[in-house]
Amino acid sequence: MAQFSSDLAILGGGLAGSLIALAMARHRPEVRVLLVEQGERLGGDHVWSFFETDVAPEHRDLVEPLIARRWSGYTVHFPGHSRLLSTPYASVTSARLDALVRATLGPDSLLTGAYVAEASPDAVLLADGRRIAAGAVIDARGAHGLPHLTGGWQKFLGRMLHLSVPHNLERPVVMDARVPQHDGYRFVYCLPFSEREVFVEDTYYSSDHTLDRPVLRQRIGDYADSMGWHVDSVTYEETGVLPVIAGGDFDRFWNASADPGVARAGTRAALVNPMTSYSFPDAVRFAMHLTALDNLSGVSLGRTSHAWAANHWRRGRFYRMLTRMLFGAARPEERRAVLERFYTLPEGLIERFYAGRPGLADMARVLAGKPPVPVGAAMASLAGGGYPLSDLGLAGASR
């Protein structure tokens, strides 16, 4: 006999799963949701950020209560130039996500400290033997690897620094690539949350998925010193190793699951921007799409999520090509030049690129002009696929 029952059991209380739960509560309150999370806190320890142009106006009611801090623009720095862009930027913290989901769902719709042993389209078996009967199950537990897909990795370590004096940053620095280049393309990312509090992240586009935490902590300390910041304390730390997808076989990836019929969301469904590993826009769009479905049975939801993810895969062809060129055509020390050139393009194009909505003219503009890598290498890279993304213990925030 089942110990729990629901119309929709959502496995995983990270970004994707929590957004689905919030969207259902707001737009389909008649659907009984049960959110199942293996940790005690929803969202783990993460900061998610997005450009406000990533989210359609009709979806902003879902996102607005989650925003912990917003800014009127952002800055990028490269050795050859710096640029201020006016696109509004916002951040969501795991603490705010946890508080909002708990307040919205209530204790009867939330199950924490629960490890999933098995899942089918309409039932879940927990590791302690408890069972959940559900009209439908959707798996949003993230990914420990992406079998049959290839590419590279975006990996990072971020720390919230409390300073003894103001940092004097008026807006986020989304990329500071003036730093020494190590392990592929390296940049530092800064979010000024208050006058003396700044989140600093050391990020790499790398062919290697290993993360040396002590080294990255030291580099963040060195960056703070170079900025003239005296760090009183570190109040928070997060790490991540996220897939940057260059190619693969989507059907084999989907069917590699223990039960391919179970609906999926987030990274588990490869719903990320293939080049940036950025998932916030897709998580919002998919959550809102689910609220519009008439049939929320397990089998139907499984088919719906597969169709949505397959369409996302097809639409990501351009980004996968760029990923192959970034990793295959540019030597690690040359990758910075590729991104520096990108940030000379029109601001509207950059907005559409991050939102996953580039038009044909945008694609042509990205590829036009003298490439920052050898033409022969660029052409040869198109036949490559990158590195296997399976069984790597992928972990961390979904951008």
> Which pLDDT band, with edges at 50, 70 and 90, does 396 fall under?
very low
Q: How far apart are the first and last CA of the chain?
A: 39
Please state, in angstroms and as integers, the Cα–Cα distance from residue 25 to each residue in 8, 29, 132, 169, following that order.
11, 5, 20, 37
Residue 17 near residue 10, CB atoms below 8 Å = yes
Q: What is the pLDDT of residue 368?
A: 83
Percent of the chain with pLDDT over 70: 91
Q: What is the pLDDT of residues 201-258, one digit of tens each?
A: 999 999 888 999 999 999 999 999 999 999 999 999 999 999 899 999 999 999 998 8
Q: What is the pLDDT of residue 229?
A: 97
Q: CA angle 218-223-224, nearest 5°?
A: 95
> Which pLDDT band, with edges at 50, 70 and 90, does 2 fall under?
low
User: Scanning the structure block, which residue is given the tokens 């986020």?
Assistant: 172
Amino acid at 14: G
- On the question of pLDDT at 176 being above 60, the answer is yes
Total length of the chain = 399
CB within 8 A of 154, min separation 6: which ones?
203, 204, 205, 206, 240, 241, 242, 243, 244, 276, 277, 399
- On the question of pLDDT at 35 being above 50, the answer is yes
Please state, in angstroms and as integers, the Cα–Cα distance from residue 224 to each residue in 105, 160, 190, 214, following that order.
40, 11, 10, 15
**β partners of residue 243:** 153
Please tell me whether residue 198 adopts helix, strand or coil conformation.
strand
In the chain the domains, ranked by start, together with CATH numbers, are: 4-67+90-142+249-315 (3.50.50.60), 318-387 (no CATH)
Please state the rounded mean pLDDT for residues 250-279.
94
Q: What is the pLDDT of residues 211-227, one digit of tens each?
A: 999 999 999 999 999 99
Mean pLDDT lowest among 4-18, 148-162, 271-285, 326-340: 326-340
Find, among 239, 271, 222, 182, the residue nearest to 394 by Cα. Answer: 239
Residue 231 near residue 161, CB atoms below 8 Å = yes
Q: What is the pLDDT of residue 395?
A: 46
76 φ, ψ (degrees, to nearest 5): -125, 145
> Which pLDDT band, with edges at 50, 70 and 90, does 390 fall under?
low
Q: What is the pLDDT of residue 177?
A: 97
Q: CA angle 32-281-175, nearest 5°?
A: 140
Please tell me whether residue 190 adopts helix, strand or coil conformation.
strand
- On the question of pLDDT at 10 being above 80, the answer is yes
Residue by residue, DSSP assigns 64-129 as GGGEEEEES-EEEE-SS-EEEE---EEEEEHHHHHHHHHHHH-GGGEEES--EEEEETTEEEETTS
Q: What is the pLDDT of residue 378?
A: 42
Strands 197-206 and 74-77: unpaired
- Output the pTM of the full model: 0.92
